[in-house]
Structure 1
Amino acid sequence: MDELISLAKTAWLTVRDVLPIAAILFGFQVFVLRRPIPNLRRVLLGFVFVLIGLALFLEGLEAALFPLGRLMAMQLTHPDFIGGAAASLAWQDYYWVYIFGAAIGFATTVAEPALLAVAMKANQVSGGTVGVWGLRVAVALGVAIGIALGAFRIVTGTPLHWYIIVGYIFVVIQTAFAPRQILALAYDTGGVTTSTVTVPLVAALGLGLASTIPGRSPVLDGFGLIAFASLFPMMTVMGYAQLSEWRARRAARRRLAEQAVADADAEIRRLDID
């Protein structure tokens, strides 16, 4: 019974959050553009599916994944698991925390519906140049690196702003060398990662770590992982584009070299015949 009540509350909150979006879309179509809504029945059915799917999805996260994420953070930082007294532990002793942070960051990003939607649109607009799976993996790797580094920051208690400043300096430098056609998409992927799945799990992990590691404050140290999750995907997506461009240039040079060798052989055979 409690589960049904909780699901009903989640469904109501979902309806409340989605209705303004629907009102803006329908309002602009009818009152600004003054055009009828095409396939109205299909559009309304789609909104119903969105509401049901979001409600079930959020309720499932709240019931299973969020508590499990907090529990894992507490267990991974417990001295009994690490094998030492809490006061004598060094940052190297928390290596399982970094591995778990990277793994959960990668998995949640690959499962992120917003990222899938952006990747599919980018694939369509680019005519297949931007691969759906390649973009998702590149973004997920960036989030994995960011969460692992953010967990390291919580463990060591170092200031957040230095990581962010250095990271954005690196992004600015990388921007000068990355292919121009990928820059806007790379910047957008930083915002895509802070969505439905990733944010709650990452926030739960950060607060769990800050609550269990001695000397850390949940308020001062528990937040900030989402900043890492937004920063590093920009680097990895630009790096993915740079790597793809380099491989394409290398393949083109190889084809030119092979063609030059073939032309030279043909010329030698022609001279021999003469």
Structure 2
Amino acid sequence: MEEIKDIAKEILQAILPIAVLVVIFQLILFEEPGLMIAQFLIGVLMVSIGLGLFLLGVKVGLLPLGEIIGSELPQRGSFVLIILFTFFLGIAVTVAEPDVRVLAAQIDIVSAGEVSKNILITFVAIGVAIFMAIAVARLLLGIPISYILVGGYLLVFALSLYVPPHFVPISFDSGGVTTGPMTVPFILALGVGLTSVLGGKSTMSDSFGYVALASIGPVMAVMILGVIYA
């Protein structure tokens, strides 16, 4: 019951200011905004209910699941098995991310089908999966995260010189949408679970940074897709 109250408070703090601001603008800008305000408030109510159910699901199911997988996997598998399992988890969680599907659908429409949404989702998912595997390998091998971040972004900027101009913003947007409400909680929970078993003295510093690394993957993958299309 306490969790439901906390979630309701979070939703209220997130949605109420925006809702009030939009209603005020509608009252100022439109002569007869009654119907529009009613439709907007119905939408706000639906969003609030949906967001509440989602956050409850994240706290009850997704976060505990990620931590359990992260803590159990190192005890039951070899280095290669851990990397492979993380790779396929990265694909699964990215394909399920709503933000990725929205971006892919919009690009499909704008490009008149030239850049298929299925191809884009595939490349984004593979990019996230590869860098999730790299993030776990970094933990297992004790490689500083700064080396991978700097190296990854240097490679991204180098690739941007050879990518068609319209693919550059798409690439960086692809990195942004992977930090959505489905992917981030799971990756963070998985990282905390893994480092609770493998982190040793550096558990605190190694528990985070997975999302930063996972965000490089889709940027790089979509740039490679752009090179292919070029």
Distance 1:125 1:26, change over 3 A: farther
The equivalent residue for 1:35 is 30
Give the CA deviation at 1:233.
0.6
Higher-RCO chain (CA-CA 8 Å, sequence separation at least 6): 2
Percent of matched pairs sharing the same residue: 34
Residue aligned with 2:51, SS: helix
Distance 1:162 1:119, change over 3 A: same
| One-letter amino acid of the counterpart of residue 52, structure 1 | I
Which of 110, 113, 122 is equivalent to 2:98?
A: 113
Give the CA deviation at 1:225.
0.6
The equivalent residue for 1:103 is 88
Structure number with larger C-alpha Rg: 1
The equivalent residue for 2:44 is 47
The answer as to whether partners of 1:154 and 1:222 remain within 8 angstroms in 2 is: no
Distance 1:241 1:7, change over 3 A: same
Q: Using the alignment, how far apart are the partners of 1:22 and 1:126 within structure 2?
A: 33
The equivalent residue for 1:266 is none
For residues 70-219 of structure 1, the aligned pairs below 5 Å read 70-78=67-75, 81-82=76-77, 93-213=78-198, 215=200, 217-219=202-204
Compute the TM-score of the two structures, normalised by the length of structure 2.
0.89
Q: Using the alignment, how far apart are the partners of 1:30 and 1:54 within structure 2?
A: 26
Aligned pair count reads 228
Q: Using the alignment, how far apart are the partners of 1:216 and 1:202 within structure 2?
A: 21
Residue aligned with 1:217, SS: helix
Give the CA deviation at 1:11.
2.9
Q: Using the alignment, how far apart are the partners of 1:28 and 1:125 within structure 2?
A: 30
Give the CA deviation at 1:172.
0.9
Residue aligned with 1:180, SS: coil
The equivalent residue for 1:65 is 62
> Where does structure 2 lack aligned partners over 5 or more consecutive residues?
none
| One-letter amino acid of the counterpart of residue 35, structure 1 | F
For residues 20-31 of structure 1, the aligned pairs below 5 Å read 20-31=17-28
Residue aligned with 2:150, SS: helix
Distance 1:63 1:148, change over 3 A: same
Give the CA deviation at 1:157.
1.3
Instruction: Provide the aligned C-alpha RMSD in A.
Output: 2.1
| One-letter amino acid of the counterpart of residue 50, structure 1 | V
The answer as to whether partners of 1:210 and 1:216 remain within 8 angstroms in 2 is: no
